[in-house]
A and B are shown apart, each in its own frame.
Chain A
Amino acid sequence: MDYFLQQVINGVTLGAVYGLIAIGYTMVYGIIGMINFAHGEIYMIGAFVALLTYFVLGVVGVSYVPLALLLVLLSAMGFTAVYGWTVERLAYRPLRGSFRLAPLISAIGMSIFLQNYVQLLQGARVKTLPPIIDGGFRLTESGGFVVQVSYLQLIIMALTLALMAGFSVMIAATPLGRAQRACEQDMTMAALLGIDVDRTISLTFVLGAALAAVAGVMVTLYYGVIDFFIGFLAGIKAFTAAVLGGIGSLPGAMLGGLLIGLIEAMWSGYFSAEYKDVAVFAILVIVLIFRPSGLLGRPEVEKV
């Protein structure tokens, strides 16, 4: 039971990270109907910016931890958002109205490019970060097995909750959110009604990138190890989360992320850690076969 509880705590932490990345997939898919294959790489860039900012702050002499973390978070979100904007502007916007596979192939090219870009600039070796936030709460202790929630895990969960709440409000009640929902329903009509569609799509990418950057910061702090390849697997898993929750649906992305995180933690806790990625892929396939619209999504009707 204690072991189970510990796995739940770990799984929810992991799920928060996947959920934040999944939002980027689901928003972009909702509006322009494409899988932003390079989104995993955006998350990876967020992690690298966070790591570099942390070290630079150390050089500059910012040693007060909460301030340093806040600056790391803001810098990662800001710089990564610029990457998200640029990727959309260079690789996707010129392709609107091109043939079906064009944006996807362009996205794969972008993903390969960004991976190698970071590898060439920052080296192929693993980057490590010393643990910044130590300690945690001990929940229960029995027979030598301690169930604990680290402060970092609590911060990750709280930050994710806050971001998701803020995000839901933004989609529901701000002009930008309304514009996004309008574009999602009918881009041409939205344009006729005076919505700047290009700007809305750009902002969607910017927001998605900023959330992915937050996930990148969390992973950098949580695991303390990153390399240029982390975006690949995290990207697939977050995409699986988005599909599981119902692609295009925001609450679905959060739910899907949570479930994928839990499943991964349980699988590596009770079965084998080697096959945990296989388990996630298998879920993706099963969901797509039996319930392509996901848990909370609307079924998709293809029209002529």
Chain B
Amino acid sequence: MAAERRAAPARMSLLDPLKDAVVAAAIALALALPLVGFETVDTGSPGTRVATRFGWVAIGVGAVFLGRLALSLARRSGLWRRRAAPRPQARTTTAQTHAIRLAGPLLVLFAAALPFLPFSSRYLVDLATTVLIYIMLGWGLNVVVGLAGLLDLGYVAFYAVGAYSFALVARWFGLTFWEALPVSGLLAASFGLILGFPVLRLRGDYLAIVTLGFGEMVRIILTNWSQVTGGPNGINGIPRPSFLGMPFLPRAPEGAVTFSQFFGIPFSPTQRIVFLYFVILALALITNLFTLRLRRLPIGRAWEALREDEIACRALGIDPTKVKLSAFAIGAMLGGFAGAFFATRQGFISPESFTFQESATILAIVVLGGMGSQMGVVLAAVVLVTLPEFGRAFAEFRMLLFGAAMVAIMVWRPRGLLAQRAPSLRLARPAAEAT
């Protein structure tokens, strides 16, 4: 009976897939004709010329037609069947979990050894530093989005607050990197509290828009408040970090010993880059341990519970505002640390580094990696940051691919590539009861 029903569509005429493909091609034509088919070309003098690209349109429409036709034929013949129901909880298998658990320490070992490996270069260490900044930002945002389930579209605001407060504190009070780092983290966290307090009572999607607004507000204020922030020109001359008070300089300033002098090795600018790499590696690892511990504390469990069901949480006596606020503040603090490191590494910051594009990139890292998964963030950050290095084409199409990938992930694997949605803690169940 069931087999008969399944076989029935196959007996129908081949005309249906064809019709379906024609419709799809017509829609593709309507989509492509104006934006792909024509392009305005500035001729310099007053007057714009229009260039046509009908070849591209034809290729696109043809591809949609053939793709759609192949898809429906394949579906018909049973080669490719649509899944009966979307699986909302794509759980990782135990084997995968073990693999991930093993991969962690190995990756840390590899990361620690990276600057000393034979193929390593200054460029590679520099790139790895950038990757680590994004990993740290991803882990910070993961606390907010992945654990507490609050969609923050203005995460870059905290990154910016961390960077600017570091730069300003270092300049006005003459603090060194290590003294200013906690200050910028604290400032970012209190900024998170101030922002979070009024808006965290809102529903999830309102929160997203409001945080987006905050991110833009911070950027606009940084651009326009020139007396303090230097306006669009930004701040330069931000102090570099030192190794136990020993700067990385070719010649020692008065009353100080440089790093290379102390260890009796010749000076090389690579030393500072390797040192910065280790600083961010340490910061990122601390972030990771910190969040992993937090997940097992009552507050972390409350985050996860709140993500799953806010009303049930309220019934159980959890104060949603407090719990959300703590996630927001901790996420902001981690972003602030990353911002401070960014400032000291670049030595120069301007509002241009803190656009919505940056928030979107960090969010893409968290979403693509799988919300709540620490290892997923690492993978996604490595892919997203190194992609542009493979060539100009990759750099150009990077954000286009991110956007499409975010949609695709939500449609096919809503829990991310490395899904880890399962609660961090479970009640131990008697063996008989577990089925």
| B216 in the interface (beta carbon within 8 A) | yes
| B257 in the interface (beta carbon within 8 A) | no
Give Cα A61 to B220, complex, Å. Answer: 44
| B39 in the interface (beta carbon within 8 A) | yes
Question: Would you give the shortest CB distance from B282 to chain A, in whole angstroms?
Answer: 31
Interchain CB contact under 8 A, A112 and B406 = yes
| B265 in the interface (beta carbon within 8 A) | no
Give Cα A82 to B217, complex, Å. Answer: 33
Give Cα A53 to B198, complex, Å. Answer: 46
Smallest CB gap from B408: residue in A: A109
| A278 in the interface (beta carbon within 8 A) | yes
Smallest CB gap from B308: residue in A: A99
- B410 CB contact (under 8 Å) in A98, A120, A278: A98
* A interface footprint on B391-409 (CB within 8 Å = 1, 0 otherwise): 0000011011011111101
Question: Known: A83-B31, A111-B403. Contact between A288 and B210, CB under 8 A?
Answer: yes
Question: Known: A56-B50, A113-B407, A302-B311. Contact between A105 and B216, CB under 8 A?
Answer: no
* B interface footprint on A74-103 (CB within 8 Å = 1, 0 otherwise): 010011001101100011001101111111
Interface size class of B (residues with CB under 8 A): 35 or more
Chain A interface main SS type: helix
* B interface footprint on A288-300 (CB within 8 Å = 1, 0 otherwise): 1100100000001
| B209 in the interface (beta carbon within 8 A) | yes
Smallest CB gap from A89: residue in B: B27
Chain B interface main SS type: helix
Question: Would you give the shortest CB distance from A212 to chain B, in whole angstroms?
Answer: 15
Give how many A-B residue pairs fall within 8 Å (CB-CB): 178
Question: Would you give the shortest CB distance from B31 to chain A, in whole angstroms?
Answer: 6
| B185 in the interface (beta carbon within 8 A) | no
Question: Would you give the shortest CB distance from A269 to chain B, in whole angstroms?
Answer: 18
Interchain CB contact under 8 A, B209 and A239 = yes
* A interface footprint on B74-106 (CB within 8 Å = 1, 0 otherwise): 000000000000101000000000000000000
Point out the residues of chain A lying under 8 angstroms from B199, CB to CB: 285, 288-289
Point out the residues of chain B lying under 8 angstroms from A115, CB to CB: 399, 403
| B33 in the interface (beta carbon within 8 A) | yes
| A138 in the interface (beta carbon within 8 A) | no
Give Cα A109 to B411, complex, Å. Answer: 11
Interchain CB contact under 8 A, A91 and B411 = yes
Interchain CB contact under 8 A, A105 and B406 = yes
Interchain CB contact under 8 A, A104 and B403 = no
Smallest CB gap from A289: residue in B: B198
Question: Would you give the shortest CB distance from B326 to chain A, in whole angstroms?
Answer: 19
Interchain CB contact under 8 A, A284 and B410 = no
Interchain CB contact under 8 A, B38 and A55 = yes
Interchain CB contact under 8 A, A121 and B36 = yes
Point out the residues of chain A lying under 8 angstroms from B223, CB to CB: 274
Interchain CB contact under 8 A, B35 and A45 = yes
* A interface footprint on B41-63 (CB within 8 Å = 1, 0 otherwise): 01000101010000000000000
Interchain CB contact under 8 A, B210 and A304 = no
Give Cα A295 to B40, complex, Å. Answer: 43
Interchain CB contact under 8 A, A116 and B213 = no
Point out the residues of chain A lying under 8 angstroms from B48, CB to CB: 55, 127-128
- A120 CB contact (under 8 Å) in B210, B214, B221, B400: B400
Interchain CB contact under 8 A, A112 and B33 = no
Interchain CB contact under 8 A, A113 and B404 = yes
Interchain CB contact under 8 A, B217 and A109 = no
Interchain CB contact under 8 A, B220 and A288 = no
Smallest CB gap from B402: residue in A: A112
Question: Would you give the shortest CB distance from A255 to chain B, in whole angstroms?
Answer: 19
- B209 CB contact (under 8 Å) in A121, A125, A130, A236: A236
Q: Which of B119-127, B167-175, B200-208 forms part of the interface with chain A?
A: B200-208
Point out the residues of chain B lying under 8 angstroms from A284, CB to CB: 209-210, 213
Give Cα A99 to B202, complex, Å. Answer: 18
- A90 CB contact (under 8 Å) in B33, B35, B399, B407: B407
Point out the residues of chain B lying under 8 angstroms from A117, CB to CB: 35, 400
| B367 in the interface (beta carbon within 8 A) | yes
- In residues 262-278 of chain A, which contact B (Cβ within 8 Å)? 274-275, 277-278
| B160 in the interface (beta carbon within 8 A) | no
Give Cα A34 to B209, complex, Å. Answer: 12
Point out the residues of chain B lying under 8 angstroms from A274, CB to CB: 220, 223-224
Interchain CB contact under 8 A, B208 and A281 = no
| B247 in the interface (beta carbon within 8 A) | no
Give Cα A125 to B223, complex, Å. Answer: 21
| B277 in the interface (beta carbon within 8 A) | no
Smallest CB gap from A113: residue in B: B403
Point out the residues of chain A lying under 8 angstroms from B201, CB to CB: 289
Interchain CB contact under 8 A, A35 and B205 = yes
Point out the residues of chain B lying under 8 angstroms from A250, CB to CB: none
| B363 in the interface (beta carbon within 8 A) | yes
| B333 in the interface (beta carbon within 8 A) | no
Point out the residues of chain B lying under 8 angstroms from A236, CB to CB: 209, 212-213, 216
Interchain CB contact under 8 A, A113 and B400 = yes
| B149 in the interface (beta carbon within 8 A) | yes
| A230 in the interface (beta carbon within 8 A) | no
Question: Would you give the shortest CB distance from A165 to chain B, in whole angstroms?
Answer: 28
Give Cα A45 to B151, complex, Å. Answer: 26
Interchain CB contact under 8 A, A106 and B224 = no
Point out the residues of chain B lying under 8 angstroms from A51, CB to CB: 40
Question: Known: A99-B414, A105-B367, A127-B40. Contact between A112 and B360, CB under 8 A?
Answer: yes
Smallest CB gap from A81: residue in B: B30
Smallest CB gap from A290: residue in B: B198
Question: Known: A232-B356, A236-B216, A304-B311. Contact between A120 and B39, CB under 8 A?
Answer: no
- B149 CB contact (under 8 Å) in A101, A103, A108: A101
Interchain CB contact under 8 A, A292 and B206 = yes
| A43 in the interface (beta carbon within 8 A) | no
Give Cα A85 to B23, complex, Å. Answer: 13
| B34 in the interface (beta carbon within 8 A) | yes
Give Cα A278 to B220, complex, Å. Answer: 7
Give Cα A103 to B205, complex, Å. Answer: 10
Give Cα A116 to B223, complex, Å. Answer: 24
Q: Which 9 A-B pairs have the closest CB atoms?
A: A109-B406, A113-B403, A112-B403, A281-B213, A116-B400, A106-B410, A82-B30, A109-B407, A274-B224
10 contacts between A and B (CB under 8 A): A35-B208, A55-B48, A99-B88, A104-B208, A105-B151, A108-B153, A108-B360, A109-B404, A233-B216, A288-B202
Other A-B pairs beyond A58-B50, A116-B399, A304-B311, 10, CB < 8 Å: A52-B34, A78-B30, A83-B31, A90-B411, A106-B411, A112-B399, A114-B403, A117-B400, A128-B48, A289-B201
